């Protein structure tokens, strides 16, 4: 199943890229939500090959996800692949500078089920595609709001 969305962000494209590639920030955000995040690579700087093992509760069960940074083309593209026992997939985030202070982010997410239960879940998502797309767009807009807030804080010093 493929999901895609886009939103405009009131911040320069370089700042937006730096914000979405600030993995320490996103690790802390996941920890605040109750996830357990473990870095599984030995890289010292931002580069493809960075990876994390993430454990979290979802729908009443403990889940785990191995996430790998696959592509990093500053400030245009960031891609990650995810792998778990029941699903695999990835996300590609493309950035476009609309002006000196405005950027557009385009996100494409792919989910491939590996188990019967995951296939049933993905099929239910397909049946409720309108609702799923609305939630996806809402999450993307929340990401934009976080980045815009960080940009405002950065500008104020």
Beta strands in 13-60, from DSSP E residues, in sequence order: 36-39, 51-58
pLDDT confidence of residue 90: 97
Tell me how many helices (H) and strands (E) the chain has. Answer: 4, 7
Q: Up-side HSE of residue 52: CA atoms within 13 Å toward CB?
A: 19
Answer for the pair 64, 84: CB distance below 8 angstroms, yes or no: yes
Which domains occur in the chain, in start order?
2-156 (3.30.530.20)
Rounded to an integer, the average pLDDT of 93-105 is 96
Can you tell me the distance from the alpha carbon of 129 to that of 144, in angstroms, rounded to the nearest whole number?
22
Rg (CA), the chain: 16
Tens digits of residue pLDDT in 60-76:
888 999 999 999 999 99
Length of the chain: 157
Say what the pTM is. Answer: 0.88
Can you tell me the distance from the alpha carbon of 51 to that of 59, in angstroms, rounded to the nearest whole number?
24
Tens digits of residue pLDDT in 1-13:
999 999 999 999 9
Tens digits of residue pLDDT in 105-146:
999 999 999 999 899 999 999 999 999 999 999 999 999 999
- Rounded to a whole number, what is the largest CA-CA distance in the chain? 51
């Amino acid at each position: 199943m493929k999901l895609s969305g886009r939103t405009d962000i009131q911040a320069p494209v370089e700042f937006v890229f730096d914000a979405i590639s600030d993995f320490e920030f996103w690790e802390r955000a996941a920890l605040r939500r109750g996830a357990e995040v473990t870095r599984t690579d030995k890289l010292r700087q931002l580069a493809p090959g960075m990876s994390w093992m993430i454990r979290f509760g979802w729908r009443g069960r403990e889940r785990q996800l191995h996430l790998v940074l696959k592509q990093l083309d500053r400030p245009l593209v960031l891609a990650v692949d995810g792998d778990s026992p029941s699903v695999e997939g990835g996300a590609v985030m493309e950035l476009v500078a609309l002006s000196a202070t405005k950027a557009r982010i385009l996100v494409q997410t792919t989910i491939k089920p590996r188990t019967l239960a995951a296939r049933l879940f993905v099929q239910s998502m397909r049946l409720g595609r309108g609702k799923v797309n609305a939630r996806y767009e809402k999450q993307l807009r929340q990401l934009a709001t976080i980045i815009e807030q960080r940009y405002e804080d950065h500008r104020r010093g």
